[in-house]
Amino acid sequence: MTVGLEIIGLNLINIKMKNQNEKSKKNNPMAKDLRTPKYKQKTIKSKKIYNRKKKSSI
């Protein structure tokens, strides 16, 4: 019976520790926004290179 009580006790301690960690963790909305694809680097064609093939407008 004591083994069962020890396992239950450890589980309760783990649950309490998880709750404390979640409360102490702070939310940074700016950092969260920077992880979105809106701020990914984009490749831009060079404007110096001349292209004879015009865009076809159909």
pLDDT tens, residue order, the chain (58 aa): 455 545 556 666 667 666 666 666 778 999 999 999 988 888 888 889 887 887 776 6
C-alpha angle with apex 42: 40 to 48, nearest 5 degrees?
Answer: 160
Residue 51 lies in a domain: no
What single DSSP character describes residue 9?
H
Q: Is residue 6 part of a domain?
A: yes
Q: Please provide the DSSP assignment of 14-43 as one string.
A: HHHHHHHHHHHPPP-HHHHHHTSGGGS---
Pairwise CA distance, residues 35 & 45, whole Å: 25
Residue 46 lies in a domain: no
Give domain status of residue 8, yes or no: yes
Considering the domain boundaries, does residue 34 fall inside one?
Answer: no
Q: Which domain holds residue 17?
A: 1-25
Residue 43 within any structural domain of the chain: no
With respect to residue 55, please indicate whether it lies within any of the assigned structural domains. Answer: no
Domains contained in the chain, number:
1
**Does residue 21 sit within a domain?**
yes
Q: What is the pLDDT of residue 30?
A: 92
